[in-house]
A = this chain, B = another copy of it.
Amino acid sequence: MGRSRKFTDDQLLDAARDMVATHGPGATVAQVSTASGAPTGSIYHRFRSRDELLVRLWLRSIERLHDRLLQVGDEHDDPTEALVALAVETARYCREHPAEARAMTLYRQESLSQTAPEELRERVAHLNDRALAMFGRLGARRFPASADDPRLVELVFTCVVGLCYGLIRPYVVAGTPIPPWLDEVIARACAAALTVGDI
């Protein structure tokens, strides 16, 4: 075999996450190096480029959020309740894991699916598949009349994730705690936004 690893991939990603949380999206490889204790050579031995490191971090942070959301989605019988609960849960998760939440702001899927390192394009493209399927199911039950409309998923996604994320984003980026009263705002706004589908 060979020499055993002194740093796990997750250790390096954790360091990158913390540097992004403190220095923003312009965090440098040198900063990740000192934060993790690994020399730059080791980091480049593990990740082909800074881009790959940050994209992998972004993928990990969003997959972790989705893991949590997929659990919550099944805990409600009423689809509207489930959708509102998903919005509120997103806020809670980001409040509990501010650095992970900061990493989620690094990219947007639509642009990244074209610009990401070649070997990650596929993973980026299918990142939201699980979550979208869930939102599609809940949306179809919430709006039976539009169950076949392809725009339904975008609408639901916007009213739940987009709305919640937009409200908490300023706090996430600033690194300040998300105020608890925001959960109530999100719940009411989300429920009301979802009524547009009834038109």
A146 to chain B, nearest CB (A): 13
Q: What are 21 inter-chain pairs, A to B, with CB distance below 8 A? A: A108-B170, A111-B174, A155-B181, A155-B185, A158-B182, A159-B185, A159-B189, A162-B166, A163-B185, A163-B189, A165-B166, A166-B169, A169-B169, A181-B196, A184-B196, A184-B199, A185-B193, A188-B195, A189-B193, A191-B192, A192-B192
Copies of this chain in its oligomeric complex? 2
Residue from B159, B162, B184 within 8 A of A170 (CB atoms): B162
A153 to chain B, nearest CB (A): 14
Report whether over half of chain A's contact residues are helix, strand or loop; otherwise say mixed.
helix
| A110 in contact (CB, < 8 A) | yes
